[in-house]
Amino acid sequence: MNLFYDNKATIDISYNLVQHDHTKHVEPTEEDKIAFSLFCFSNRKRKMENSHVLVLPFPAQGHVNPLMHFAWRIANLGSKVTFVNTDFNHKRVLSAMAGRNEPTGSDVNLVSIPDGMDPEDDRTDIGKLCEAMLITMRKKFQDLIEDINKNHPFTCIIVDGTMGWAREVADKLGIRVAMFWPASAAIFCQLANISNLNRDGYIDSDGFAIKKHKIQISPSGPIFDSDNLAWKVGNAYSQKAFFKYIERVMEDSQLIEWQLCNSIHELEAEVFSLVPKLLPIGPLLAGYDTGNSGAQFWPEDSSCLKWLDRQPSQSVIYVAFGSLTIFDQSQLQELALGLKLTNKPFLWVVRPGNSTQESNPNEFEDSHGKIISWAPQQKVLSHPAIACFVSHCGWNSAIEGVSNGVPFLCWPYFTDQFVNKSYICDVWKIGLGLDKDEKGIITKEEFKQKVELLLGDKITIKKALELKQFAEDNIREGGQSSTNFSNFIKWVEA
């Protein structure tokens, strides 16, 4: 099945080329270039000092983190930024930040509003969370804006694409709005085509798969499995609630003029041709602009960096499964045995709540490995000791791995992670998938074998380094992501 995106409301970003009649061309020196760049930065910073940007993420770690990096990039240009978390996540972020320094020179004010759930409610129940947000957050969000606007009026609002309902609030208050999409362009395209999936008989009106099918939105794009569509989370009630929420907010998000995403053009070139309004500005990473690790929900354990310093180059298996993955105890044990079988040093992030049963992570640690509860991931992946990344394939992890030239072992858990795995293994060809046995377990033997295959595959390792170069080129001055970001900033300044 081929999906399509009929986008008639495209925006035209024109680049004004000034023609000069010079009889002699003089190449500027490096000193000239540096001086000119500093002049442009200083001039832009003065303009941005009059701006006040409001940023609203979806209340999940994988959304809050990239939007915070985006906020810091804007703040570092001189703008005042107000960042809105839910009350629940606001407390977690402040707790995780305790003892850390704020990014130098930036002005990001952290505020919060209720999410509509009771303190004891399970916020990993995405469907229930989305229902509560629609009931409660719109009014609280409007009240917050009106209160802050009295003294520090907002120039524009940047909303997470999955918080599209905020567009109506912005329109009501006469504030310009932009949309930031923290996942892949492919997932945006999938969600923008929900009506087509329903029309063609692949899903019913509640988002449940009617027939099993492989879906590809472009000839060489990632493959969607109808059993693993982006809204398939939790039980049937939660899945239906999340689907209805996504269906609603995507309608709002697609009406927003500026649509930005944390991606790289070369990684999703065909998909970007289907959604021409969606502009890549990635990679948005800690260290590129601020040196800070992001708005984390758990305190980072930086002791792992000194441990990595003691390991040989390209020797360490880095294992991290994001903020929501949960393993049963038998799978956790099998992974531990698999790591031991490789006879290689490993750094393993075992997050609180990573398992269905309470366990002591240190029981899996041996002389070869180090286990921590949360990592400064960008710093870890950029460390020369890292050989490969065993990942759940969340989009932030995918972008961070690509940007550091690290090959992957893919272990997706839910939602968009299966599409990201398809990108990594089938399209970009920088990783291998881990296969489950007849009992649904990834065995220690399978793990050991795939580690050996990956680390012995020079072609895959070379390809990973090539994609790293694409990432670096995009954020340099003149790169596509850099240009898109600069054009967006001009719109903010206007």
* DSSP per position, 277-325: TEEE-----TTTSSS-----SS---THHHHHHHTSPTT-EEEEE-TTT-
pLDDT of 165: 96
pLDDT in tens, 317-355: 999 998 777 788 889 999 999 999 999 999 999 987 655
73 is written with which tokens?
A: 């990039």
Do 303-471 and 42-292 fall under one CATH topology? yes
pLDDT for 33: 45
Domain boundaries, the chain: 42-292, 303-471
Over residues 267-312, the pLDDT tens digits come to 999 999 999 999 999 999 875 444 455 688 778 899 999 999 999 9
Tokens describing residue 398: 């995918």
Q: Chain-wide mean pLDDT for the chain?
A: 86
Q: What is the pLDDT of residue 212?
A: 83
pLDDT value of position 23? 38
Pairing state of beta strands 386-391 and 408-410? parallel
Any idea which residue has 């961070």 for tokens? 400
303-471: what fold? Rossmann fold (3.40.50)
- The sign one gets for the Cα dihedral 14, 18, 24, 30 is negative
Neighbours of 27 (CB within 10 A): 6
**In the beta sheet, which residues pair with residue 264?**
none
Return the closest-CA partner of residue 218 out of 418, 419, 429, 403. 419
What span, in angstroms and rounded, lies between the C-alpha atoms of 348 and 44?
A: 42
CA-CA distance, 176 to 154, in Å (whole number)?
9
CATH class label, 42-292: alpha beta
Name residues of the chain where pLDDT drops below 70.
Answer: 1-46, 99-106, 287-294, 353-367
In terms of Cβ atoms closer than 10 Å to its own Cβ (0-12, 13-18, 19+), residue 340 is: middle
Which residues 6+ apart lie within 8 Å of 431 measured at CB?
A: 407, 408, 409, 410, 421, 424, 425, 454, 460
Please classify residue 494 by burial: count the beta carbons closer than 10 Å to its beta carbon, then call 0-12 exposed, 13-18 middle and 19+ buried. exposed
pLDDT of residue 293: 52
- Check if the beta carbon of residue 249 is closer than 8 Å to that of residue 162: yes
Which pair of structure tokens corresponds to residue 426? 């089938």
